[in-house]
Chains A and B, each alone.
Chain A
Amino acid sequence: MKLLQLLPIGNLDDELLSHLGPALANTFQFPCEVLPIRLDPEFAYHGERQQYHSSEILAAMQPYIAHDTWRVLGVTGVDLYIPILTFVFGEAQIGGPCGLVSAHRLRQEFYGLPRDTELLRQRLVKEAVHEIGHTLALTHCDDYQCAMAPSHAVEWIDLKDASLCEACHTRVFVG
């Protein structure tokens, strides 16, 4: 049986990973494991922007694909960007094996609000499902409640569910 593997990148609360694994396993019906290594993202750091280039991290994740890998999802606490955008919550290879998600801007503290661990967990699951959805060749969905709905701000993430809508689910698991 192939595995959904979570790769910790940089500083990240292990508790978040331990919560994320079962949630994703339940959604995609693949056993999930946390890889016993931690990738240092310093090579992708941009001093001026004080952010990490997500595409470079994604490229550096390729060696971690093994014969029993279904998908590898990098999970990080650092702030991600692609050059043309101010930030990204995550990035994925469309129809490929790797995805990456950041918890940095999912934290209430980032917006000057009191910490809310439960909300952070929920947001991270939603964004992780979203990026894995992209690795399954799904594009954005018009159903605002679907995990594949576009969300470029946390308010939009909070509106959607952690699961795929029926149409996206069918596309991945049936057709």
Chain B
Amino acid sequence: MSAKSRLLIVDDELSVRDSLGKWFGEEGYEVETAESASDAMTKLAQGKWHAALVDIKMHGTDGIELQRRMHEIDPDLVVIMMTGYASVETAVAALKNGAYDYITKPLDPDEISHLVKKALAHKQTEQENVRLRETVAEVARPEDIVGQSTVMNHVYDAIETVGPTDATVLITGESGTGKELVARAIHHASPRKFHPLVVIHCGAITESLLESELFGHEKGAFTGAQYRKKGKFEIAEGGTVFLDEIGDISLKTQTDLLRVLQEREIVRVGSNLPIKVDFRCIAATNKDLERMIEEGSFRPDLFYRLNVFRIELPPLRDRRDDIPILVSYFVQKFSQQMNKKIRRVSPGAMNLLQQQAWAGNVRELENAVERAMVVAQEPEIRESDFVFKVAVVPNGVPKSLEEIERAHILRTLESVKWNQTRAAEILEIDRVTLHHKLKKYGWSRPTVETR
């Protein structure tokens, strides 16, 4: 029994208010009474109530209308209607408006006590359920995919489109572009999000082990198989299987995989018994599967099965606009992890980062920022904190006119402490032009600062 639950009794009959108020008081509730709809609304506005017992027939505004107004103020309020004569019409009207239940007068003590207790427990469970789901969603949420460039916006649109469906997705892109993050985002956006996302790095497992990993095995299926083991497809029941590096699996495993995708059933190694499995498949590769098909190293039928919806992730060099925001994100992330108060990235350092080739894409950028964070002195990361094997701008011999312009603007801005009006005067361009250049190079003081 919820000893501190607050109960509001609304009835225009004094005897009902008194007797019911006293009776529920004995039951351990904190009870107040209201003699009319307006009185009830005033009390409702004054504090939080867990439940209200409302008489349907009252002078002025009746109970049904009052209940509707009460729910406008507090949708979580449990409202139980009391009626002198039970009629199907009033009961239906009350329940349609969102009343928890209704009860006929005079009330049976056992019934009303049970009803209020049950209603409050039900509401509490409902709220707990919402909280738990939110917690689970929070835990399951993938790391944010960072980027505001047009190409990344296409990727977000694709995730949003395909996420809620059950379609198989093929994610392609170079190493380090964030294929697993996208797979996690798709899983998170799907109705399967409360079931597992099982990730299998196909390239990291030998062929014989991969078969057992994917489909499971029976005891004694091979030397060392001392216990029966479930495969990843079974473990993912109801959820998503993410097959990373799908281009690295053998033709034999490709055949087995194709059968699983077609039949939606698996057979454990060492068994003949097919087991039904329910999963969504997302695959990813950095290989050119079409070329592998031409070369005969990838099965075309498996490719068509996987390539139902394709998401192509751009390499970082094709979305350099995103570098400042990515750097800012990583600086903030590692500041927390390393407990360092790095609040800024110097314009020089940012310039350097924007000129790198980033063959390893976002992962390489992340590693570079992490390394620099180790040596950086608070509160700023400087150019000297980054170590690259090949200097892109060796001693003032830039390769293009754009690079000269970029370096010159940056030097000028730093010499006037980022006073843009002053910098525009020195450069003999107007402020709007300077603003456009800053935007083009992804520079602005706020974007290179982190909280």
A interface residues (Cβ-Cβ under 8 A, vs B): 55, 81-88, 92, 94, 134, 139-140, 142, 150, 152-153
Contact = CB atoms under 8 A, between A and B. Distances in A.
Contacts of B18: 55
Interface in B13-30: 13, 15-16, 18-20, 22-23, 25-28
Tell me which of B13, B26, B108, B112 has the highest count of chain A C-beta atoms within 10 A of its own C-beta: B26
Contact of B106 (A86, A140, A150): A86
Contact of B105 (A84, A92, A153): A84
- Top-9 shortest CB links A-B: A152-B110, A82-B19, A152-B109, A139-B28, A84-B16, A83-B15, A84-B20, A86-B106, A140-B28
B251 interface: no
Interface residues of A, dominant DSSP: loop
A150 B116 CA distance: 13
Given A142-B1, A150-B1, A152-B113, A85 B106 contact: yes
B107 interface: yes
Contact of B16 (A83, A88, A94, A153): A83
A139 B3 CA distance: 9
A134 B27 CA distance: 10
Contact of A84 (B3, B19, B110): B19
6 contacts: A82-B19, A85-B107, A139-B26, A139-B27, A140-B27, A152-B110
Given A140-B1, A142-B1, A150-B1, A84 B107 contact: yes
Contacts, number: 59
Contact of A140 (B15, B20, B26): B26
Interface residues of B, dominant DSSP: helix
A153 B25 contact: no
Nearest to B104: A86
A83 B25 contact: no
Interface of B: 1, 3, 13, 15-16, 18-20, 22-23, 25-28, 82, 105-110, 112-113
A11 to B, nearest CB: 23
Given A139-B3, A140-B1, A82 B26 contact: no
A117 B110 CA distance: 24
Given A140-B26, A153-B110, 9 more contacts: A83-B13, A84-B23, A85-B108, A86-B106, A86-B109, A88-B23, A94-B25, A139-B3, A152-B108
B23 A82 contact: yes
Nearest to B17: A84
Contacts of B16: 83-84
A150 to B, nearest CB: 6
A86 B15 CA distance: 14
Nearest to A92: B26
Tell me which of B13, B82, B109 has the highest count of chain A C-beta atoms within 10 A of its own C-beta: B109
Tell me which of A83, A84, A88, A94 has the highest count of chain B C-beta atoms within 10 A of its own C-beta: A84
Contacts of B22: 94
A9 B106 CA distance: 24
A86 B26 CA distance: 17
Nearest to A93: B22
B113 A150 contact: yes
A55 B1 contact: no
B108 A55 contact: no
A84 B106 contact: yes
A140 B28 CA distance: 6
Nearest to B113: A152
Contacts of A152: 108-110, 113
